[in-house]
Amino acid sequence: MLSSGTVGAAIEGALASVPSIAVSLCSTRARGIDYCSAQAEPLFASAAEIACRSLALVHGTNWSAGRPQILSINVPFNATVDTPVEVAAPQLGGYGNAFAVERGTWLHVGAPVEYQDAALGTDVRAIAEGRVAVTPINLRLVDDKELGSLRRILHETW
């Protein structure tokens, strides 16, 4: 999730106190569809409609309650407005082989997501089973329990 440019853009919006969304259409490279072709237009239209419907659900609620928030929406490549939607946690441990070394340089190649062993309740599992995954994200990337533990260790040993 944190290596996603789409989520990165939404993080920038949230840092500016703008509630933000990141909408990702699952990779179609493995299915031979060129994102820039007319063949892909219906896929993007469906993803846009799903995003609008998702936003309508949280608009006017206290979902973000004054905190910078991000809503990550992952849409299966063949989703329609009738595709089931699930609130899901992000898959931990990565999304496949998104990075590769070519001529001694690391590159982000955006490999298709690897679905095997996707945990129940995660965005990857939802996508693997054909559901839209909606994940609320906040900017507090701190583990409060570990923060207190580290403070105690530092106080006792420094």
pTM assigned to the model: 0.76
Size of the chain, expressed as the number of residues it contains: 158
Cα torsion angle, 87, 72, 139, 106, sign: positive
Helices and strands: H and E segment counts in the chain = 4, 6
Q: pLDDT (tens digit, 9 = 90+) per residue, 94-124?
A: 555 666 788 888 776 665 566 667 889 999 8
Q: With cut-offs at 50, 70 and 90, classify the pLDDT of residue 82.
A: very high
Q: pLDDT (tens digit, 9 = 90+) per residue, 18-41?
A: 878 888 887 645 556 676 778 778
The whole-angstrom separation of Cα 88 and Cα 113 is 16
Q: What is the pLDDT of residue 77?
A: 82
The whole-angstrom separation of Cα 49 and Cα 44 is 9
Range of the domain at 20: 5-157
Q: What is the CATH number of the domain that holds 142?
A: 3.40.1210.10
Q: Give the total number of structural domains in the chain.
A: 1
Task: Give 86's strand partners.
Answer: 133
The whole-angstrom separation of Cα 66 and Cα 68 is 7
Q: Are 20 and 13 in contact (CB under 8 A)?
A: yes
